[in-house]
Amino acid sequence: MKIKIYAVALGILVAACSREEVRDRTSAVKEKVSSVVERVTVPDGPPDDPAAREKERFDDRWRRLNSFREQQAAAAARKAQEATNVKFVTGVKETLEGLNPEAINNAPVAVPITGDVTGPSVLKTQVYLDRVSHSVGAIDGRWGKNSAISLWWFQRSRGINPTGDVDEATFRALAGEAGSVPAVVTHNVTSDDIAGPFTSVPDDMYEKAKLDCLCYESIKEKLAEKFHATIGLLELLNPGVDLNAVTAGSIINVPNVRPAVRSDRPDIARIVVSLSGNTFNAFDSAGNMIFHAPTTVGSKYDPSPRETVKITAIAHDPHFHYQPTLFAEVPDDEPEANLQPGPNSPVGVVWMALSKPHYGIHGTSDPDSIGYASSHGCIRLTNWDAREVAHRVSPGVQVEFVDTRKEVPAE
């Protein structure tokens, strides 16, 4: 029993000594640290400058650091690798008839794409051009002038020999920049997609003036504009589906176009419109082309401006004042009329007034005609292209007109 008591007492004594030793060591360390801290002398820095801090908040020089550039290069390499996995064929006649999205997306790319051809290869090219902000107007899966010109500008701005025809190198570059995404995807119809009102819009200007809204005429017209497509293409991608009868939650096949720009981000500093080429090119402040679209310009009876002008005002969902004196084919003594806003307004969903009176950049009620018909002098875009441009410009942006029609020799 005594041995056990001694053992316990010895244990307590050892523990107490250990705690005392730890306290001594801790105290010595604190003393040493305190001594070191007292000897540290560093400048405290200048007082905080709120203005400099605010400027620093938006300093984007970090993007040019090697570490970030390496990450960007790696991402670009991955996209390029994905694009190189594309299978190419030649001498193959294509069609979109009877193909589901998987068959379209997985189909080999038939090159060259030139002339009057249609099929998955054309549809992929049109969707990819749209996604890299080189609009072809209404996507229809059929090659033509709008697509060829858009591709020509893409090639030229990327240092590729500009031909307006799709070859392997061009498609790889285009697909890589577009992320090699599927060209056709499924879409769950939303309540907004089917929300009206829908109304039949007459051709007569005075009958239009009687309407409360120059709205979409049908659900399928509204869906076609949302996905930058012709109604015919949407019907082709959805065989057996009544697009006017879809309900919220219905699943349909659609082109995988670029997301809509819904808020102002004015990055366009200059616009150049080719009167003979029916092209609308937009550049940033550094001179880089950042947007292209086909456009409809004036005829010889109602010519577009020939001088350089500026955007003076921007109006979304504008009312339209019909003035017969401004239309060459209408007698001047016809009465004026005021039309309500809507996507089927003569000026579409947006009006960008120019410094030359009565001229502007605007949308249209007939997207399929863009690039092929003539206007009454204004610069007409599809509604989706016009809406995006309106969010990317501001009053004061310069608009130049080049390639007047008289400069192009007749063939």
CATH of the domain at 145: 1.10.101.10
Q: Does any domain span residue 17?
A: no
Q: How many CB atoms lie within 10 A of CB 332?
A: 9
Q: Does any domain span residue 233?
A: yes
Q: Are residues 214 and 329 part of one domain?
A: no
Tokens coding 345: 């307004």
Which of 138, 155, 177 terminates a domain? The answer is 177
pLDDT of amino acid 25: 56
Q: Are residues 329 and 365 part of one domain?
A: yes
Partnered with residue 270 across adjacent β-strands are 283, 398
Q: Are residues 400 and 280 part of one domain?
A: yes
Comparing CA positions, the residue from 110, 126, 246, 266 lying closest to residue 184 is: 126
Q: Are residues 190 and 92 part of one domain?
A: no
Return d(Cα 194, Cα 215) in angstroms, integer: 12
Range of the domain at 217: 185-255
Q: Give, as one character, the DSSP assignment of residue 195.
A: -
Check which CATH number belongs to the domain holding 251 and give it.
3.10.350
Q: Are residues 236 and 217 part of one domain?
A: yes
Q: Are residues 193 and 165 part of one domain?
A: no
- Of the chain, the end-to-end C-alpha distance in Å amounts to 124
pLDDT of amino acid 13: 39
With H, G, I as helix, E, B as strand and everything else as coil, classify residue 281: strand
Comparing CA positions, the residue from 233, 199, 245, 244 lying closest to residue 365 is: 199
Selecting among 134, 228, 292, 362, the annotated active-site residue is 362
Comparing CA positions, the residue from 131, 125, 128, 129 lying closest to residue 259 is: 131
Q: Does any domain span residue 348?
A: yes
Q: Does any domain span residue 215?
A: yes
Residue 361 near residue 367, CB atoms below 8 Å: no
Q: Does any domain span residue 7?
A: no
Which residue in this structure is represented by tokens 């200048």? Answer: 46
Q: Are residues 401 and 318 part of one domain?
A: yes
With H, G, I as helix, E, B as strand and everything else as coil, classify residue 142: strand
pLDDT of amino acid 11: 45
Which of 198, 227, 255 terminates a domain? The answer is 255
249: region left, alpha or beta (phi > 0 left; psi from -120 to 50 alpha): left
Tally the domains of the chain: 3
Which of 123, 154, 177 terminates a domain? The answer is 177
Give the model confidence (pLDDT) of 170-192 as tens digits: 999 999 999 999 999 999 999 99
Q: Give every residue of the chain whose pLDDT is below 70, as ranges.
A: 1-48, 52-60, 62-64, 66, 68-84, 298-305, 328-329, 373-377, 404-411
How big is the CA angle at 309 (ends 304 and 313), to the nearest 5 degrees? 100
Which residue in this structure is represented by tokens 């400099």? Answer: 52
Tokens coding 377: 């002098």
Give the model confidence (pLDDT) of 113-172 as tens digits: 999 999 999 999 999 999 999 999 999 999 999 999 999 999 999 999 999 999 999 999
Q: Are residues 322 and 230 part of one domain?
A: no
362 is an active site residue: yes
Amino acid at 99: L
Check which CATH number belongs to the domain holding 293 and give it.
2.40.440.10
Q: Are residues 275 and 167 part of one domain?
A: no
Tell me the angle at which helices 66-84 and 168-177 cross, rounded to the nearest 10 degrees.
130
CA distances from 169 to 22, 134, 155, 160, 165 (A): 74, 18, 10, 9, 11
Q: Does any domain span residue 193?
A: yes
Return d(Cα 53, Cα 180) in angstroms, integer: 40
Q: Are residues 216 and 167 part of one domain?
A: no
Selecting among 134, 213, 292, 378, the annotated active-site residue is 378
